[in-house]
Copies of this chain bind each other. A is one copy, B any other.
Amino acid sequence: MPGVPPARFAYLGPAGTFTEAALRTLPAAARGDLYPMPTVAAALDAVRVGEVDSAVVPFENSVEGSVATTLDELATGDPLQVVREVLLPVSFALLARPGTSLADVGSVATHPHAEAQCRRWLTRTLPEASMTLVSSTAEAARLVGQGVHDAAVSAPVAAGHYGLVPLVDGVQDNEGAVTRFVVVSRPGPLAPPSGADRSTLVAYIADDHPGALLEILTEFAVRGVNLTRIESRPTGMGLGRYCFSVDLEGHVADARVGEALSALKRVCADVRFLGSYPRADAVPPTSKPGTSDLDFTDAAGWLARIRAGSPS
């Protein structure tokens, strides 16, 4: 965006987390102002009150921080809009102060989620090292920089922040794991359909009868809209009252997505639409015959004709 002032980004901090790494994949971040925030709530509120333009927060399969918190914070409070997603391979580095060798590592710090994902590697590689769990992988790196621990399992991006160097890269037990972040702004015009979009919403069920979720899913399925994530979430009014947090293939401008969302609006107590945005993996939607925009246009024309009394 040449000519515009640098964008201001909040993100789930501290500096050096995977969330920062996700943020740094955005071209606009290169010349933007980046503000680490202590919590997801604080990052989102910074957007709401206009202190920043956007926030980057973990959204699925997080390696630190809580996705549940993000879901709940987006579902309540002043409306926000998801404008972009970032996928990041789950790949940790073992960071240490310069000059440290693997044999020198007697104590390791990291976040519990990172520990869970690297346990086999750590047990195999550093069987004698003590393990300290802290509030983020970046905090672990900071403590190593201060000399409290010998090494940190953290995001590679943390090295520069805390004067560390990677002893080992690509530390993780499972190849191929990916974590997902979203970029959130105040509501505004949607990006046009890209041909490979995702949409996110929260549906509040009207009453918790058996089959309520099935009814909601059927509204999507009959219109050929595939879901890529679903979670039931308590609404904070006691367990048993639920909403559903949903990602779906397609853009709200698509006819089938629009009709499905309208249907949800009709049958749910409430629907909070959180945005349509390009998929980071650029995978186009699966298709079901009869659900293209052209199919909807043709059918609308046919309906208009039969309502006017023309033969079908």
Contacts and interface: CB of A to CB of B under 8 A. Distances in A.
A227 B213 contact: yes
A61 interface: yes
B39 A180 contact: no
A49 interface: no
Contact of A307 (B62, B133, B253): B253
Interface in A50-74: 60-62, 65-69, 72-73
Contacts of A62: 68
Interface residues of A, number: 99
Given A259-B259, A307-B252, A211 B221 contact: yes
Interface in A216-248: 217-232, 234, 236-240
Interface string A13-51: 000000000000000000000000011110000000000
A281 B28 CA distance: 50
Given A177-B236, A231-B231, A38 B309 contact: no
A299 interface: yes
Interface stretch (A1-9, A92-100, A156-164, A288-296): A288-296
Given A38-B133, A239-B61, A232 B229 contact: yes
A148 interface: no
A258 B296 CA distance: 12
Nearest to A217: B214
Contacts of A119: 41
Interface string A252-294: 1100001101110111000111000000010100101111000
Contacts of A190: 307, 309
Contact of A290 (B79, B177, B266): B266
B267 A116 contact: no
A146 interface: no
B232 A87 contact: no
Given A116-B41, A231-B232, A262-B302, A272 B217 contact: no
Contact of A66 (B112, B176, B295): B112
A38 B112 CA distance: 8
A308 interface: yes
B312 A79 contact: yes
Interface string A104-131: 0000000011011001000000000001
Q: Lowest 4 A-B CB distances belong to which pairs?
A: A79-B311, A266-B290, A210-B226, A273-B312
